[in-house]
Amino acid sequence: MTLQLLISDTAAPRPPARPCRRGAFLLALRAGRLGVESAAAVSQLDVAYEKAAACEGGSGHQSPAQAAPTGTGTGDLATIAFETARQNLYPPDPIGGWLAATDSDAEVQLWRLGVTGLRWALPWVEEARARAYCHSLEVAWQGAELGSGWMASGDPLRLPPSPPRPVAAALAGGLLPCLEYLLRGAGRDPGGWQAAAVGELAWLGRHMELLLAYGDAGEAAALVATLGKLLRRALTDPRVVEGISDSQSTFWQAVPLMVFGPLKVDQNLSQDQQAPEGTLEAAGAEPEAAAAGVAGAAPGPASPASQQLASLLSFAACRWLPPLSRLAQHSLRADIGRGDGSGDSGGRGGCGSSGASGIAYLTASLLLSASLSWVPLLRACCGPQAAHRAPAPEGAGGSEGDGCGDDGGWRALLLEEVEVVPLLGVALDFLPELEAAGLSNHLPLLLKYLARCSGHLAALLLSDTARGSAPDAAGPSSGGARARRLLRTCANPGCANLDGDSEAGLRLTPCAGCGPFESQALKCP
């Protein structure tokens, strides 16, 4: 009740007779922590009960989860407290009150409460409150942006050494490992509460490049690997390929949005032209950063954040692009194969539905845009300046046959594993279907991507002809030597195992058939 009174006081300014904002903020934090601890205790008891029931063959007693259903207050305290703390930290009438700009530690405390609430409180609250909670996190991010006067510069390749305030607070609050935990849980159960949360957190894709650049390198690499496994797992889900509109579709659409986020980079690398020859060498970044084509965007030495982003983008290109391209092609062919594209654009389909629905076209359009956006970035890695890049140091890490760091490896990735030529062909056939479905507003962006990608592809093929050689057939199996040194992953390129809370904690065992430096998950579905 006290927290609700504080919310109403903050939302509707009135004469004094209320605690100061700092006091209200600290009170809400304490209440929120108690709420999170209570929800975490119930969750841990539930896990212990399930283990005991499994050993005893089941029992007739109710588990804590059954005894405390959603909507009865188990997680409500934490969510209400977070909302109260946020409104006192970023009030609508900041004049004359405590300003968050003077206390960055308060922002970190707010995000710690928000992240722990995501993990422990959200399973116990009603769906509407969970959605409002995720939206409140976005409002907190926006409040930090406005309070600091910082807005995105649009050039993630020239990053300053220190992160912006909202990024620093979210990372210090543990956002990256929590997001990976939610993604892995959603991949295992696309109809569960974690999937619903991921669907509401799709806005994080707009800030993904900053989170990867400034976050802990190991946590960021694990998140990249998990997103790659989700894309591979999506290939087996007809809801994704066919664009089915149901309770799980929001989650599967959030994944490509998060993959799409870091690709603001390609707009800086390639505006229908290539970086000047030799700029990659002049940048002075380490070899894997140059391999990603990122260091060439800045005239001077890249900041540590830019170099980390370059390494992770190289890693992401090899993990995300092949399954993303196949998803786009399968989805496009499914739409074209349905008929004339005159299906009900507002209908809801099922797994056995034969009519094209609007959500199917939107899904195909999103997958296509995310796939095509990577082509200029990879093309920049295959240009004339690639010859000027310093070779990777001997013993830099990575598996045998990994060619992501050189010209031939990137060509093989783009032409063979990503299958960019068939992708462009299917995309051209899809455009009339998109227009017939009444979604012509998506055409300008897709046409822009197609034109740019076709130009880059033509230049790449012409350079192969001029050299009189075919692309290297030994495509890369993984990328980003620096990222690989931070994270040991399964040697199976098709592994989609999402057990555990993080890729970094996945049990690996040496595989005698793959060599001493290869590892393979004990359970690869």
The pLDDT tens digits of the residues spanning 44-65 come to 887 666 666 666 665 555 555 5
Percent of the chain clearing pLDDT 90 (strictly above)? 27
Rounded Cα–Cα distance for residues 221 and 198 (Å): 19
Rounded Cα–Cα distance for residues 170 and 109 (Å): 10
Q: What are the residues whose beta carbons fall under 8 Å from the beta carbon of 98, sequence distance 6 or more?
A: 20, 21, 22, 25, 88
Q: Which of 483, 524, 505, 506 is nearest to 232 (CA)?
A: 524
Rounded Cα–Cα distance for residues 110 and 113 (Å): 5
- For residue 355, what pLDDT band results from cuts at 50, 70 and 90? very low
83 or 517: which leads in pLDDT = 83
> What is 407-438 written as a DSSP string?
HHHHHHIIIIIS-HHHHHHHHHHHHHHHHHTT
- For residue 31, what pLDDT band results from cuts at 50, 70 and 90? very high
Taking a C-beta distance cutoff of 8 angstroms, is the pair 208, 258 a contact?
yes
Instruction: Kindly report which listed range (283-287, 424-428, 514-518) carries the lowest average pLDDT score.
Output: 283-287
Taking a C-beta distance cutoff of 8 angstroms, is the pair 78, 39 a contact?
yes
Q: Give pLDDT, residue 381.
A: 66
- Whole-model pTM? 0.79
Q: Give pLDDT, residue 109.
A: 96
> What does pLDDT average to over the chain?
73
Q: Which two structure tokens, joined as six digits, stand for 146?
A: 């406005």
- For residue 101, what pLDDT band results from cuts at 50, 70 and 90? low
Taking a C-beta distance cutoff of 8 angstroms, is the pair 263, 320 a contact?
no
Q: Give pLDDT, residue 185.
A: 95
Q: Give pLDDT, residue 397.
A: 36
Distances (CA, A) of 324 to 144, 176, 212: 33, 22, 19
Q: What is the DSSP-derived secondary structure letter of residue 19?
A: -
Q: Give pLDDT, residue 420.
A: 85
Instruction: Kindly report which listed range (216-220, 229-233, 396-400) carries the lowest average pLDDT score.
Output: 396-400
pLDDT tens profile 140-183: 999 888 866 665 555 666 788 899 999 999 999 999 999 999 99
Three-state secondary-structure class, residue 179? helix
Rounded Cα–Cα distance for residues 48 and 52 (Å): 6
Specify the DSSP element, H or E, that contains 508. strand 508-510
Three-state secondary-structure class, residue 90? coil
Residue 508, strand partner residues: 521
Q: Give pLDDT, residue 478.
A: 42
Is residue 272's pLDDT more than 80?
no
Is residue 398's pLDDT more than 50?
no
Q: Give pLDDT, residue 299.
A: 55
Instruction: Kindly report which listed range (51-55, 340-344, 467-471, 508-512) carries the lowest average pLDDT score.
Output: 340-344
- For residue 86, what pLDDT band results from cuts at 50, 70 and 90? very high
Instruction: Read off the pLDDT of each residue in 392-420 and give the average, rounded to a whole number.
Output: 58
DSSP-H helix ranges across 338-471: 358-372, 375-381, 407-412, 420-436, 443-467
pLDDT tens profile 240-268: 766 665 656 678 888 888 888 776 554 44
Instruction: Read off the pLDDT of each residue in 327-340 and give the average, rounded to a whole number.
Output: 70
Q: Give pLDDT, residue 291.
A: 40
**Degrees, nearest 5: CA angle 231-157-143:** 80
440 or 388: which leads in pLDDT = 440
